[in-house]
Structure 1
Amino acid sequence: MIKSKKIKAIIAMGILAVIAFAGCSSTASNQAQKSEQDKTIKIGMSGGYYPYTFKNKDNKIDGFEVDVWNEIAKRTGYKAEFVTASFSGLFGMLDAGKIDTIANEITITDKRKDKYLFADPYVYSGAQIMVKKGNDSIKSPEDLKGKKIGVSLGSNYEQIIKDFDKKNEIKVVTYDNDGGMRQDVALGRTDAMMDDKVSALAVVQENKIPLQLAGKDVQPLENAFPFVKNDENKEVIAKVNKALNDMRADGTLEKISKKWVNLDITKK
């Protein structure tokens, strides 16, 4: 009888242990899931690239990129934290783990694809030459020979010019400040500049800068969010892509686009 009671007690203890273990396992799983949902994504941006990312009249970060990431955060459960820095330093910050991705109209290039994982493209634009208003002598890269063209330091536009200019007949001037670059072109210090077509148009219209588009797009651009290559970021990208696809399907991406640039730049 005593042995029977002991056996029952042992069995009961075993059952309780299993339940406790299952409960701990479930709690750990829930905590892991909650932790993943509460993950903060640090998003690097220049804060000086209207209308994509800029400081508004209240000195708060604003723009197309901010709206897109705030919506992604809502749909994924991630918390979006915006980190501003000079554009030329953003990729270094990404490599060092100081930020998780960059939202500054980052063009997908073969060189960047070798180094980073990219989410799906969310903006389609073009590399555009701009010149001082009234200057009709430049319509294409061919017309830049013997002239100076400005590009943002660290951008892909310098590479576009170099790929065309095999004989080094074009002088490329790099700028850490887009405003200074536009000002130099407007004053005739630099003959032209290359920028994202949509941004160039928006800046000219917003600030009444005496610049104009020179010819057609030099080449089409697909822009996306880059991440450091690792397994964790593959999971993050999968969630970001789902959010972007849902935003495109329900019209949210188009709405954000038209809010900032009066046209839909989110479809190819």
Structure 2
Amino acid sequence: MLFKKRTLALISLALLMLVVVVGCTLNPSNEVGNPTITIGTSGGYPPFTFMNSEGKLDGFEIDVWNEISKRIGYEVKFETAEFSGLFGMLDTGKINTISNQITITEQRKEKYLFPTPYVFSGAQLVVKKGNEEIKSLEDLKGKKIGVSLGSNYEQLIKEYDVNNEINVITYEDFIGSLQDVAIGRIDAVMNDKLAGVVNIQKSGLDLQLGGDPVKPLENSFPFVKSDDNEALIEKIDEAIIEMREDGTLENISNKWFNTDITKK
């Protein structure tokens, strides 16, 4: 009899644990009942996403998503990782999207859904101060060019460099790549123009922009293709449009860049 009671108790406990697990899976909400959206970001790309002096995640991307989440009724949770690992986290369902100045490309559109763009910028070369020889993709032939590992900048150069005449060096750390340009380890870096301008100013390194942007860019948030995400993207679209119309996006941009990067 005692054995049967213990067996029934164990079965009941197992069933209770199963209910709890299933409930968590079917209802990914926080304590107040709002659904949660998990955002992947590097936390190492100032002023877009970085750890501030208090050790907290901060930046343009964080402000944008905190505002979007209020408008669509979601709680936002940020997960930090090396940039090169963010798309792997997205593909395996560890995060819902990426907020790290992700450029919309035809290749990415084949695999992911994107809300309306929230940033308009350009792919920019950064060179050592006084270097007037590198101002275009053509000028990179025979040179060492740094890019963020797994970025659209890496892909852009590879598509252009069909004869493998450019030596592409990949980095996890944008600041590290700028430092290597300043000391002459590499000849240039390609990244977002605004990120280049801001970090040249903040770092004090002997750097300058190399010519004009080599390609215009539109940035947004990639989502894995699904019916649920299509419905969510409609809400995000509405929020971004409202934020642009009521001046919120412009205000956030001016806070970090003293200019509006959210309009064409």
CA distance, structure 2, for counterparts of residue 124 and residue 79 of structure 1: 26
Aligned pairs for 1:1-268 (under 5 A) are 38-268=34-264
Computing the radius of gyration over CA atoms, which structure comes out larger, 1 or 2?
1
CA distance in 2, matches of 1:135, 1:33: 53
SS at match of 2:61: helix
- Paired residue secondary structure (2:103): coil
TM-score, normalised by the number of residues in structure 2: 0.87
Distance in 1, matches of 2:73 and 2:200, equals 37
| Whole-Å separation in 1 of the counterparts to 2:33 and 2:98 | 20
CA contact (8 A) 1:37 1:76 kept: no
Asked if 2 retains the 8 angstrom alpha-carbon contact of 1:37 and 1:77, the reply is no
Contact 2:30–2:36 (8 Å) recurs in 1:
no
Moved over 4 A (4+): 31-37
Report the alpha carbon displacement of residue 37 of structure 1 after superposing the two structures with TM.
Answer: 6.9
Q: Could you tell me the TM-score, scaled by structure 1's length?
A: 0.86
What is the CA-CA distance between 1:253 and the residue it aligns to? 0.3
Give, in angstroms, the shift of residue 123 of structure 1: 0.1
Deviation at 1:209, TM superposition (A): 2.0
How many residues align? The count is 238
RMSD: 1.8
Percent of paired sites with the same residue: 61
2:15 aligned residue: none
**What amino acid is the match of 1:267?**
K
How far the C-alpha of 1:32 sits from its partner, in A, is 11
- Structure 2 gaps of 5+ residues are 1-26
Provide closer, same or farther for how the CA distance between residues 36 and 122 of structure 1 changes in structure 2, counting only shifts above 3 A. Answer: farther
Return the alpha-carbon distance in structure 1 between the equivalents of residues 151 and 30 of structure 2: 37
- Give the drift of 1:129: 0.6
